[in-house]
A and B are shown apart, each in its own frame.
Chain A
Amino acid sequence: MLMFTLRRILVSIPVLIGITIILFLMMNVVPGDPIELMMREHASPDVIARVRAQMHLDDPMVVRYFRFLWNALQGDLGVSIKLNRPVTDLILKAFPNTLSLAVCAALVSWIIGIPAGILSAVRRDSLLDRFFMGFSLLGVSMPIFWSALLFQYIFAMKLKLLPVSGFYGWKYMILPAIVLGWSSAGVIARLTRSSLLEVMRLDFIRTARAKGLRETGVITRHALKNALIPVVTIMAIQVASLLSGAVITEAIFSIPGVGRITVSAISSRDMPLLQGAVLFATALVILGNLVADILYSILDPRIRAQMRKEA
């Protein structure tokens, strides 16, 4: 298991480097100069040239890339051009906000998704099933910016139950977590339902029933344990979708998280900040996948055996 984890971590290093190269190339192809964008229409050519030189933005691309890589290896992701603060600081300060948003959203998606999936599977083709599946389809299909607006309008503007936006306590977290969580809840509900239905058809369930176990016992003790394996892995891989969803959610609800930083880095061509933010997000996604694999092996003995063979 340890060998497996170590190997997975080593394999992810080229992935990280590859991502930085692609990003670096892309940002150099896209037009727009960070200093010019910072100064907008009032840019004076002399000042731009001078500040560019001071910030070493005139150096060849290769030189800049290796300088970045060398510093990054030493834990220094550079200083944001626009915000004039160390990139590592910016990300570490913003990350707890994104993390709490993501964790709350994930909780929402599990609390809604798993029971909805189970009930739908158990009462297959009933009105309840249709309702839950319709509800989850709505969650998956509604763009976040739209559901966010709708929720803000109903719960904050009209009913005045919750604050519109901001980030000053648990009350402020409810709407963004529901908006972001709802979209993943749909995926989880559908997966739980189909996985449970599949398991219910297997022989060991028939055996359990034949033993005379009650239906609730069959479902909770036997079926669910097996049906939730793919769901658990999806939950770990959710990191990627939660991160991308957080970009929009953070903008609409004014949450000072990593998503906001990334968007501002893109629009201002702030290379050091963007590199840092993307590197960080990549690392998180890799970590999510690793956790998914490990969970999978814990839950499924077949995988564990396979891993032992590989190691």
Chain B
Amino acid sequence: MDELPLPVEEYSGKVAEVKIGATRNEGGTRDFALVIGGDRVLPFYFFEGSNPNPPVIALEVYDSHESLPRPVKAFYSDELVENPVEWSRYVVEKLGAKMLNVKLVSVYPETRDEEPRKAAELVEEILQEVKVPLMVSGIEELWGPREVKKNMETLCEVAERTSGERVLLNPVTLDAYETVARSCIEHRHCLIAKTNMDVSQAIKLNGLLLDRGLTPERIVIDVTTGPLGYGIEYTYSTMERLRLRALKGDKSVQCPLVMFPSESWSAREISEKKGIDEMEKLGVAFEVVTAVTGILSGGNLLSILHPKTLNVVREFINEFLGQPRISINLKEWMKNAEW
């Protein structure tokens, strides 16, 4: 018998567990909370050990539907996407989503430039209608000071009005972190620390947030998702490097990682397709592959746009948890002429 020297590493570090959503006992109104992170080994290194919490998927709903890709709109129907509260109820009750990412795209200064107050009211309404944990996204593309300021105002408004619900506020960046961090602590939420595909920037922002009194249990790291074909390799390697640092003991980055496969829908290959079916097939495939890449590089939370992607990615994760459904048999494959 040949001894196989398993490539087991002894890691001294551990990723913090971040709990999203507060139940009634915890001062919120959620039916349950979700825990992400807690990783002790690299994803799916079963020969080395196992991680306590499988990746969680949040399904996206928008407060205004103009920018939704056509196949997503078609899946839900125009009527539904025009009513974000009903839409949220639908994805929880009918699609079994365990978490929502409510995207307040209406506040973008370039488009509707809606008041933060109005956007936050919608979040309150959704919290009353559905009882799953929420991520709430303000302005994710912060290319100028106007966007930075508006995002900060929006997230603070949401934090205040949803006090105690342990919402995951997205995104907080190096441009403006103090106010949101303070509001996050005061109202007992957690936040996403977003930097631009750069390990040292991620370390810096996390350090600043920790200095401001946020604990690692309240921070989720977003290195920015370059989707498949549009910089996914940067995201992949930045996530891998951060996770390795965390496991090797760097306390400043021991937080769970979030990834946004939904960004895949911006690929040109998809929008250039003529038929809506073709668009959907290619879009879902891009989103699924981006999600798989995110999970294998250490992603603990995934934000997904198309419900079909949600189903497939859920099945992918399940293949690693319980009894696998997929069997691979090369002897059978050899005989199988089916095409």
Q: Are A and B physically bound partners?
A: no
